[in-house]
A = this chain, B = another copy of it.
């Protein structure tokens, strides 16, 4: 409740509620589960399909039954487990900081923490991943701009300023988790929301 994004544990708790004990669900699901974990940990390239199969508790051949090429596992993962939510949000005029905070708390992305790591780690080299990350970034900027526009009185404030504010907020949202992982430096999205909303008066 105090964290802007669900933790890894909270996420797996919410998913395992529907299933049983490991091996959880059907073979295809277990393969994706395993791949998600391993890709997030060591990266796509460094993860052999054999280890995916092993962790999933299925024979090596079955991985290729469902996913003819290794890359298809990653594609399926992104397709099915990193869904960008593109819907209109209700307008709340006047409270820009609150709107940004709410956006931070509820990213327009259905994805586990592991999937989020994969999304950033592999975007560099894999087109389908990059495309998904691009959509997410666009959606966040769109919503941030919408929140700021509504919150601000009239047409005041030039467009460039608003654009920079939205992009800045998106950058923080997208990378705060990476930054924490890589540098150990925590960023409080609420403080940033207030800061940016304040900057536009």
Binding site for B on A (CB under 8 A): 42-43, 45-46, 117, 121, 123-125, 130, 133-134, 137-138, 141, 160-161, 163-165, 167-168, 171-172, 174-176, 179, 181-185, 187-188, 191-192, 194-196, 198-199
Q: Select one of B124, B141, B179, B184 contacting A185, CB under 8 A.
A: B141
> For residue A137, which residues in chain B have a CB less than 8 angstroms away from its CB?
179, 182-183, 185
* Copies in the assembly, this chain: 4
Q: Select one of B124, B141, B175 contacting A174, CB under 8 A.
A: B175
List the 5 closest A-B pairs by CB distance, nearest first. A199-B199, A45-B45, A164-B191, A134-B183, A137-B183
Q: Select one of B117, B138, B184 contacting A134, CB under 8 A.
A: B184
Q: Chain B: which residue is nearest A119 at the CB level?
A: B182
